[in-house]
C-alpha cells in the first residue's frame, strides 16, 4: 500500500513539475512580447491609424447618345477624425476650420469626446485641400 502511494506521489510531482515548466515558459514568452518587443508592436499599432487607400480599378464612364457625360470619374477626399486620439481638440478645430470652410465650434463639438469614430467632418474636398491638412 505504501509503495502505491509512493508511485502516485512521484507521478504527482512529475505532473506538477511539468506544469511549472510550462508556466515558466509562458511567463518568459509574455515578458519577451510585452517588455522586450514593446516598441515593435507600438509602431505597428500607430501605423494602423493613418490610412491612405487608392482604388486600383478605373471605372467606366457613361455617355448619352449625344456624347453628353451621364456618369464620370472624379476624385474626392474626405476628412475623418478619431477623437480619442486628439490631444488638443480646440487647436485642431482652429486649424481645420479655415481649410474645411466650417466653424470652429462645429468641428470642436464633433471631436471633443472620447469616441473612436466620428462621421466624416467634410466630404468632397479637392486634392489641394487634402494636401493642406
How far CA 59 is from CA of 50, 74, 95, in Å, comes to: 26, 10, 35
Question: Residue 98 — pLDDT band, cuts 50, 70, 90?
Answer: confident
Confidence band for 24, pLDDT divided at 50, 70 and 90? very high
Query: Exposure pattern of 25-36 as b/e (b: 16+ CB <10 Å)?
Result: eeeeeeeeeeee
Above 80 in pLDDT, residue 41? yes
State residue 55's pLDDT score: 64
Q: What is the mean pLDDT of residues 49-78?
A: 78
Res. 51 pLDDT band, cuts 50 70 90: low
Residue 94 or residue 73, greater confidence: 94
Query: Which pLDDT score is estimated for 78?
Result: 83
pLDDT of 2 strictly over 70: no
Q: Which residue has the higher pLDDT, 97 or 46?
A: 97
User: Does residue 1 carry a pLDDT above 60?
Assistant: no
* Average of per-residue pLDDT values in the chain: 84
CA angle 116, 117, 123 (to 5 degrees): 155
Query: Angle at the Cα of 126 (from 60 to 132), degrees rounded to 5?
Result: 145
3-state class of 132 per DSSP?
Answer: helix
Residue bearing cell 470652410: 101
Rounded distance between C-alpha atoms, residue 64 and residue 68, angstroms: 5
- Residues 98 and 79: their CA atoms lie apart, in Å, by 14
Q: What is the percent of the chain where pLDDT is above 70?
A: 92
At residue 126, φ and ψ (nearest 5 deg) are: -80, 170
Amino acid at each position: 500500500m505504501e509503495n502505491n502511494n509512493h508511485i502516485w506521489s512521484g507521478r504527482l510531482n512529475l505532473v506538477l513539475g511539468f506544469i511549472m515548466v510550462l508556466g515558466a515558459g509562458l511567463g518568459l514568452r509574455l515578458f519577451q512580447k510585452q517588455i522586450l518587443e514593446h516598441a515593435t508592436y507600438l509602431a505597428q499599432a500607430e501605423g494602423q491609424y493613418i490610412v491612405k487607400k487608392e482604388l486600383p480599378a478605373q471605372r467606366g464612364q457613361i455617355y448619352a447618345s449625344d456624347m453628353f457625360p451621364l456618369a464620370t470619374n472624379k476624385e474626392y477626399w474626405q476628412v475623418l477624425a478619431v477623437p480619442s486620439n486628439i490631444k488638443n481638440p480646440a487647436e485642431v478645430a482652429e486649424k481645420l476650420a479655415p481649410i474645411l470652410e466650417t466653424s470652429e465650434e462645429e468641428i470642436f463639438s464633433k471631436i471633443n469626446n472620447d469616441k473612436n469614430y466620428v462621421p466624416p467632418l467634410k466630404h468632397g474636398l479637392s486634392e489641394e485641400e487634402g494636401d493642406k491638412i
